[in-house]
Amino acid sequence: MNIYDTVNTLASEIKQSEEYINYKMAKQAINLNTELKNKMKEFETLRYEIQMAAIQNKQSDEEKYKKMQDIYTELIEIPEAKKYIEAETKFNVLIGDVNKIIGDAIKDVIQ
């Protein structure tokens, strides 16, 4: 079998997975509520900025971190947002596992 055929099969199976479907549906539900969508975007922006600062070994901005925590606490109380966060986490675990399997398979040539 051609490697590209295998990758296309994997992509198709990911799109058919429970994790992908739940994540996509949860994201669609968030997008229907403009206020919730904006709050989720604010949370994700703060989370990204904090992660990038950590990667770049910059001192963490305690104010940003506190604001992110406050927004998370607020979001987790909203059923649609909680479902989205949980679905996103499960989907990210799936993709992380796939990446790890591929990485482990080729680590002898990339080290």
pLDDT category at 14 given cuts 50, 70, 90 is: very high
Task: Please state, for a pLDDT cut of 70, what percent of the chain lies above it.
Answer: 99
DSSP symbol at 32: T
Q: Report yes or no on 11 lying in a domain.
A: no
Q: Report yes or no on 108 lying in a domain.
A: no
Q: Report yes or no on 8 lying in a domain.
A: no
pLDDT of residue 59: 79
Q: Report yes or no on 28 lying in a domain.
A: yes
Q: Report yes or no on 109 lying in a domain.
A: no
* Domain region containing 41: 18-99
Q: Report yes or no on 111 lying in a domain.
A: no
List pLDDT tens digits, range 30-53. 999 999 999 999 999 999 999 998
Q: Report yes or no on 13 lying in a domain.
A: no
Query: Phi/psi at 83 (nearest 5 deg)?
Result: -60, -40
Q: What kind and span of H or E run contains 2?
A: none
pTM score: 0.87
Q: Report yes or no on 46 lying in a domain.
A: yes
Please give the angle made by the CA atoms of 102, 19 and 21, to the nearest 5 degrees.
125
Tokens (6 digits) for 11: 């992509």
Number of domains in the chain: 1
